[in-house]
Structure 1
Amino acid sequence: MAGFWLFVIPSLIFCLLLVKVMVSKNNKKKKKRNTRCKLPPGSMGWPYLGQTLQLYSQDPNVFFTSKQKRYGEIFKTRILGYPCVMLASPEAARFVLVTHAHMFKPTYPRSKEKLIGPSALFFHQGDYHAHIRKLVQSSLYPETIRKLIPDIEHIALSSLQSWTNMRIVTTYKEMKKFAFDVGILAIFGHLEGSYKEILKHNYSIVDKGYNSFPMNLPGTSYHKALMARKRLKTIVSEIISERREKSVLKTDFLGHLLNFKDDKGRVLTKEEIADNIIGVLFAAQDTTASCLTWILKYLHDDKKLLEAVKDEHRALLKENSREKKPLTWGQTRNMPLTHRVIVESLRMASIISFTFREAVVDVEYKGHLIPKGWKVMPLFRNIHHNSKYFSNPEVFDPSRFEVNPKPNTFMPFGSGVHACPGNELAKLQILIFLHHLVSKFRWEVVGREKGIEYSPFPIPRNGLPATFLQHSL
């Protein structure tokens, strides 16, 4: 027994000395690294919580802007338990999202990843991300989405006509339904009505729980959302089985997912397909709905601009009525004022205010250290509302887009390999909706309440209550 301890004790001492040497070397490396460049300025706030309460108890734009004024265009803080570096310049956004994107990976809270699905496009980088992104883009090429125009027109007109039967319409809520129906069309084509309703019901539960506190206990919104997410997967699996049995080749998103094979002959699993379908639905709905809601508010508040937009669509309506034809792809490409209204609305509202990345290695940027594992947040809204790049940035002025903005100053759909691949479909459905809205309907905002609420995307307070009436130009 004594011999045993004579062997163990020296071994333990040796191990402790070895650990001490390794820690000492690591500390020396950190010290050497930190003498070369320093962390950005800023306050980390309280332990763990950091400045989360300050961010979520006020308008986040005020929070970010006050930080930028105090510390400059790069500053540090701690949000939701994570140390963060925030970047508020076009050059920095390009550095993170484009030129050095390999140093930063997409990052989302685990609770949100569970609801959308771990195989969804925007949780990945590398070969898998490139393959799925290519599938999304190929299903949304102009030659594909131009065929959807009659169906999108039908969805837009059906939505608008149903609103005339409502006493007061919560615009944002109804716009989400419109965007969801277009998303279903792009993903599945003409889907059976019963499937569509089941998908819509369960997705609404997931959507409601997405921004709730992630407590997985029976009765909580998050738990209900997880259960609805399982049902969504089951429904999508049934649709996949039916599509495979019929052996019908389709050019919708599901068709591209089902037909995919990589260089080694591997196909996508049902779980991967379901995750990416739910991910595309999520990406397509809220942002498009928010943008449309803001456009209605901006046009309602500027009657002169609204009349000019109506004039643009009067010409198209007369041409189509004379020739008895529906809206064409070419006409959607020839709505210059309406297009400027859309992009100015995207700038003003900055629906995607920022994005999350995580440094995968220690990164040096302009003499500042961004440590490995820290979150990095390019602040799109701060860039879009900077007077250096946009004069009178708080004024809604579509004419500013008569000339192209400076490079990297306008990023409503993100930038780089993770930029939104569905932006052309989003713009198309917005153009079609606005054409029929200003041509055949009028609307009045109800109440005088002003301000913005975040859910989490910025929308006019109370979702812009309004009344809709049908008329002709």
Structure 2
Amino acid sequence: MEIIVAIFFCILLFFSSLILSYPLIKKHKKRQHVAKPKLPPGSMGWPYIGETLQLYSQDPNIFFASKQKRYGEIFKTHILGCPCVMLASPEAARFVLVTHAHLFKPTYPKSKEKLIGPSALFFHQGEYHTRIRKLVQTSLSPESIRKLIPDIENEVVSSLELWVSAAGQVINAFQEMKKFSFNIGILSVFGHLEDNYRDQLKENYCIVEKGYNSFPNRIPGTAYSKALLARRRIREIISEIICKRKEQRLMERDLLGHLLNYKDEKGQMLSDDQIADNVIGVLFAAQDTTASVLTWILKYLHDDQKLLEAIKAEQMAVYEANEGGKMPLTWGQTRNMPITHRVILESLRMSSIISFTFREAVVDVVYKGYLIPKGWKVMPLFRNIHHNPEFHPSPQNFDPSRFEVAPKPNTFMPFGNGVHSCPGNELAKLNMFLLIHHLVTKYRWEVVGYQNGIQYSPFPVPLHGLPTRFWRNE
């Protein structure tokens, strides 16, 4: 009997302690549940393709703005076969690109990496990235590119004369701007390159470009397969140029010269493959982005005749100071064109050629209570920030006067931000200053038809590449 009483007492004691501890267990579990971060809100779209079609088939302003309006400044989606977290605030962009950049790595599809080259600057981070970026920045610094002004002016005038010589024929402005930008890229990388090398590089580069945004199919005859072969030929051409420089012991101060002359602390030089990858990377970065902005500038000035007259007045004053254009522009003059500068900045904001950038989380990251899982792509949305009325009032209006006052930090990032921002931004802006100067002082142009749409190739450009006619001023 005593044993039964003892057993009953133990059972009673067990259940009593269980009942008394239940609120504490429940509270602990609740606390654990609250502390665990969730994925951001959003839609992952269709299996595999996600929301890729929606992103690339409509105005990116509409796509991104509708997402932000529905889900807030951080949301998830599925783009190009990858789960992504999109970030639409200046603070978030700074978090990913600057203050916590070590938690995220640059990432590109492998198919694109093969065409540019795995050693290219923008595929890397850490010591290698720092060394190569310093070389590129040095070769494209204001001190270096100011010496290129006469050569760039020659390219500008040659291009404009070519467009005029079409005798009133309509040209695709974007395609012509691409040719111009490519020639400037060649100039900044190789200096004065022999015509046969330039022509070979251009021919093969065009093939690579066509395959860059195609489906990565290696079947012979496909655009991607042709691009891989053309990429191999570009590597051979660059090797030949390198070999000739070494034989002639040329000590050029262009980008190729900086790459060839580099030695690390152990005396190690860059391999020809590393040099070729970075040369191709710079050419890729230099062409479409600059060409797209220049095409938009043509359109914005054409659509606002009052603004065009103000720029003409500013540039004519410089033109007359240079004895009617007989003297070349100086670096100091390009730094003293306030109206033109504001037009360039506003064109960069409005067009937002780089709508976003890709990063990949290298660990699980928690931002504002939301989980960004390791391996997910992270996309700071420059376009959303540039078109946010909180930072840029009436963002849909082209208004260069908004840049009479400097924008708030991290609300204007046309060239990115942090250690992976574009090292060639000064060269890009110099191209714009020089082309605008010669264009408005010596020529006039007309956009053909009502061109108010946008197409993507993959960067946003005016519809049909902005069909345009050019004439020389009387």
**TM-score, length of structure 1 as denominator length:** 0.92
**Alpha-carbon distance between aligned partners in 2 of 1:360 and 1:388, rounded to the nearest angstrom:** 32
**Alpha-carbon distance between aligned partners in 1 of 2:462 and 2:440, rounded to the nearest angstrom:** 20
- For residue 241 of structure 1, what is the aligned residue in structure 2? 243
In the alignment, residue 38 of structure 2 is paired with which amino acid? K
**Alpha-carbon distance between aligned partners in 1 of 2:190 and 2:433, rounded to the nearest angstrom:** 22
**Alpha-carbon distance between aligned partners in 2 of 1:444 and 1:375, rounded to the nearest angstrom:** 42
**Alpha-carbon distance between aligned partners in 1 of 2:42 and 2:264, rounded to the nearest angstrom:** 46
* Shift of residue 267, structure 1, vs aligned partner: 0.8
**Alpha-carbon distance between aligned partners in 1 of 2:261 and 2:447, rounded to the nearest angstrom:** 47
* Shift of residue 60, structure 1, vs aligned partner: 2.8
* Shift of residue 61, structure 1, vs aligned partner: 2.5
The secondary structure found in structure 1 opposite 2:210 is: helix
In the alignment, residue 287 of structure 2 is paired with which amino acid? Q
- For residue 188 of structure 2, what is the aligned residue in structure 1? 186
Is 1:343 the equivalent of 2:345?
A: yes
- For residue 92 of structure 2, what is the aligned residue in structure 1? 92
**Cα shift readout 1:238-261 (whole Å, capped 9, x = no counterpart):** 000000111111110000000111
**Residues 451 and 466, structure 2, Cα contact 8 Å, conserved in 1:** no
In the alignment, residue 85 of structure 1 is paired with which amino acid? V
The secondary structure found in structure 2 opposite 1:136 is: helix
**Alpha-carbon distance between aligned partners in 2 of 1:94 and 1:219, rounded to the nearest angstrom:** 43
- For residue 386 of structure 1, what is the aligned residue in structure 2? 388
- For residue 204 of structure 2, what is the aligned residue in structure 1? 202
**Alpha-carbon distance between aligned partners in 2 of 1:170 and 1:83, rounded to the nearest angstrom:** 37
What stretches of structure 2 of length at least 5 have no aligned partner?
1-30
* Shift of residue 53, structure 1, vs aligned partner: 2.6
**Residues 54 and 63, structure 2, Cα contact 8 Å, conserved in 1:** yes
**Alpha-carbon distance between aligned partners in 2 of 1:234 and 1:298, rounded to the nearest angstrom:** 41
Map 1:337-376 onto structure 2 (within 5 A).
337-376=339-378
**Alpha-carbon distance between aligned partners in 2 of 1:59 and 1:308, rounded to the nearest angstrom:** 31
Moved over 6 A (4+): 31-34
- For residue 282 of structure 1, what is the aligned residue in structure 2? 284
**Alpha-carbon distance between aligned partners in 1 of 2:57 and 2:332, rounded to the nearest angstrom:** 47
Is 1:162 the equivalent of 2:183?
A: no
**Alpha-carbon distance between aligned partners in 1 of 2:279 and 2:135, rounded to the nearest angstrom:** 12
Note closer, same or farther for the CA distance 1:34–1:236 as it changes in structure 2 (3 Å cut): farther
In the alignment, residue 114 of structure 1 is paired with which amino acid? K
- Percent identity for Structure 1 against Structure 2: 70
The secondary structure found in structure 2 opposite 1:321 is: coil
- For residue 71 of structure 1, what is the aligned residue in structure 2? 71
In the alignment, residue 303 of structure 1 is paired with which amino acid? Q
**Alpha-carbon distance between aligned partners in 2 of 1:137 and 1:386, rounded to the nearest angstrom:** 31
**Alpha-carbon distance between aligned partners in 1 of 2:445 and 2:347, rounded to the nearest angstrom:** 18
- For residue 19 of structure 1, what is the aligned residue in structure 2? none
- For residue 314 of structure 2, what is the aligned residue in structure 1? 312
Map 1:3-22 onto structure 2 (within 5 A).
none
**Alpha-carbon distance between aligned partners in 1 of 2:403 and 2:327, rounded to the nearest angstrom:** 31
Note closer, same or farther for the CA distance 1:323–1:172 as it changes in structure 2 (3 Å cut): closer
In the alignment, residue 394 of structure 2 is paired with which amino acid? N
- For residue 325 of structure 1, what is the aligned residue in structure 2? 327
**Residues 56 and 456, structure 2, Cα contact 8 Å, conserved in 1:** no
**Cα shift readout 1:126-178 (whole Å, capped 9, x = no counterpart):** 00000110000010121211110000000000000000122111100000010
**Alpha-carbon distance between aligned partners in 2 of 1:243 and 1:53, rounded to the nearest angstrom:** 47
Length, aligned pairs only: 442
**Alpha-carbon distance between aligned partners in 2 of 1:231 and 1:186, rounded to the nearest angstrom:** 21
In the alignment, residue 264 of structure 2 is paired with which amino acid? D
In the alignment, residue 82 of structure 2 is paired with which amino acid? Y
**Alpha-carbon distance between aligned partners in 1 of 2:158 and 2:240, rounded to the nearest angstrom:** 28
**Which moved further from structure 2: 352-361 or 261-270?**
261-270
**TM-score, length of structure 2 as denominator length:** 0.91
* Shift of residue 48, structure 1, vs aligned partner: 2.4
- For residue 297 of structure 1, what is the aligned residue in structure 2? 299
**Alpha-carbon distance between aligned partners in 2 of 1:78 and 1:206, rounded to the nearest angstrom:** 27
Is 1:152 the equivalent of 2:171?
A: no
* Shift of residue 471, structure 1, vs aligned partner: 1.1
Note closer, same or farther for the CA distance 1:33–1:101 as it changes in structure 2 (3 Å cut): farther
In the alignment, residue 101 of structure 1 is paired with which amino acid? A
* Shift of residue 212, structure 1, vs aligned partner: 1.1
* Shift of residue 38, structure 1, vs aligned partner: 1.1
* Shift of residue 449, structure 1, vs aligned partner: 3.4
The secondary structure found in structure 1 opposite 2:323 is: helix
The secondary structure found in structure 1 opposite 2:445 is: strand
- For residue 229 of structure 1, what is the aligned residue in structure 2? 231
Note closer, same or farther for the CA distance 1:438–1:33 as it changes in structure 2 (3 Å cut): farther
Larger Rg: 2
* Shift of residue 54, structure 1, vs aligned partner: 2.4
In the alignment, residue 88 of structure 1 is paired with which amino acid? A
Note closer, same or farther for the CA distance 1:218–1:398 as it changes in structure 2 (3 Å cut): same
The secondary structure found in structure 1 opposite 2:86 is: strand
**Alpha-carbon distance between aligned partners in 2 of 1:145 and 1:53, rounded to the nearest angstrom:** 40
- For residue 12 of structure 2, what is the aligned residue in structure 1? none
- For residue 6 of structure 2, what is the aligned residue in structure 1? none
**Residues 319 and 325, structure 2, Cα contact 8 Å, conserved in 1:** no
**Alpha-carbon distance between aligned partners in 2 of 1:56 and 1:403, rounded to the nearest angstrom:** 34
**Alpha-carbon distance between aligned partners in 1 of 2:295 and 2:309, rounded to the nearest angstrom:** 18
**Alpha-carbon distance between aligned partners in 1 of 2:344 and 2:392, rounded to the nearest angstrom:** 16
What stretches of structure 1 of length at least 5 have no aligned partner?
1-30
In the alignment, residue 340 of structure 1 is paired with which amino acid? R
Query: What's the Cα RMSD here?
Result: 1.4
